[in-house]
Amino acid sequence: MTEKEFIIITCEKCKVKNRIKAYDSSKLPICAKCKAPLVDIKKNEVHSKYGKNLKNFLDLPDIGLR
């Protein structure tokens, strides 16, 4: 069984730590306790693009240059 990737984002409003699974720019993560947005729209788009690009790089073969 593989573990799902997640990140922990602390809510700025109530300081609760939220476990967020990978998300995309169409869904804005909100706090489980106070329902405040955890990231602004621009940060959400950046995280989404990073996650998509990271998947592309993980599939590249290792050619021994490291």
R_g of the chain computed on alpha carbons: 15
Q: What is the pLDDT of residue 41?
A: 77
DSSP 30: B
For 38, half-sphere exposure in the C-beta direction (CA atoms, 13 angstrom radius) is: 24
What whole-number distance in Å separates Cα of residue 54 and Cα of residue 12? 27
What pLDDT, on the 0 to 100 scale, is given for residue 15?
Answer: 95
Domain count along the chain = 1
Residue 4 placed within a domain = no
- Which range marks the domain in which residue 46 is found? 28-60
The per-residue pLDDT for 1 is 37
Q: With a cut of 70, which residues of the chain have pLDDT below it?
A: 1-4, 22-25, 47, 58-60, 65-66
Contact assessment for residue 15 and residue 2, using Cβ atoms and an 8 Å cutoff: no
What pLDDT does 17 receive?
96
Instruction: Please tell me the distance from the alpha carbon of residue 43 to that of residue 52, in angstroms, as a whole number.
Output: 14
Is 49 contained in some domain? Answer: yes
Task: Identify the pLDDT of residue 14.
Answer: 96
- Predicted pLDDT of residue 19: 92
Please state whether 35 falls in left (phi above 0), alpha (psi between -120 and 50) or beta: left
